[in-house]
């Protein structure tokens, strides 16, 4: 798969799995970044969810972003992707996506991936399109504030992931 590996990260950056000691920092970043943030308990529950992986992106000692996904029967479900508001558009979300897709692909388990994204979040939609995701439907009033969600799907067997570039 052509997605970048963790070894392709800038010097001082790293991607590591969520640990219990990281929960407070992850929740703070979630609250600073999302209109309807997950609770601290929600993140704690992901630690014990056997299909969940939460990858943390560290820039030095600073938590710069995270991605929570579920891998079930070849389906990668992106649950939550956050980049620190001060570090947006610096490639962190793209590196997290590449990491998750690459890991699922290397495990031979990835057939399809899907996610929901706020219909107004054009930067996120553009990011997902770079990875070969395409719109497949709308969930009306999906978010707590009534905004619709765009459902986006990526099919691993189409080869649409070729040419993904990092910012």
Q: Which of 30, 116, 133, 154 is labelled catalytic?
A: 116
Distance CA 7, CA 5 (A): 5
The answer for residues whose C-beta is within 8 angstroms of residue 85's C-beta and 6 or more apart is 32, 33
- Please choose, from the candidates 65, 164, 83, 90, the residue with its C-alpha nearest in 3D space to the C-alpha of residue 121: 83
Q: Which of 30, 46, 57, 128 is labelled catalytic?
A: 128
Residue 128 is among the residues annotated as catalytic for this protein: yes
Backbone angles phi, psi at 129, to 5 degrees: -65, -35
Distance CA 166, CA 2 (A): 11
Residue 142 is among the residues annotated as catalytic for this protein: no
Catalytic positions are 116, 128
């Amino acid at each position: 798969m052509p997605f970048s590996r963790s070894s392709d990260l800038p010097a001082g950056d790293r991607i590591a799995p969520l640990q219990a000691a990281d929960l407070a920092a992850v929740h703070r970043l979630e609250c600073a970044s999302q209109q309807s943030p997950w609770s601290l308990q929600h993140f704690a529950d992901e630690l014990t969810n056997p299909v969940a992986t939460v990858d943390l992106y560290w820039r030095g000692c600073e938590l710069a972003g995270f991605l929570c996904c579920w891998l079930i029967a070849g389906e990668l479900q992106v649950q939550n992707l956050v980049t620190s508001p001060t570090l947006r558009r610096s490639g962190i979300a793209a590196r997290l996506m590449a990491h998750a897709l690459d890991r699922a692909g290397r495990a031979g388990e990835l057939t399809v991936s899907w996610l929901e994204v706020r219909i107004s979040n054009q930067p996120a939609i553009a990011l997902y399109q770079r990875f070969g995701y395409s719109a497949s439907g709308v969930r009306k009033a999906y978010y707590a504030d009534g905004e619709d969600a765009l459902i986006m799907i990526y099919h691993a067997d189409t080869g649409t992931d070729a040419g993904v570039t990092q910012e």
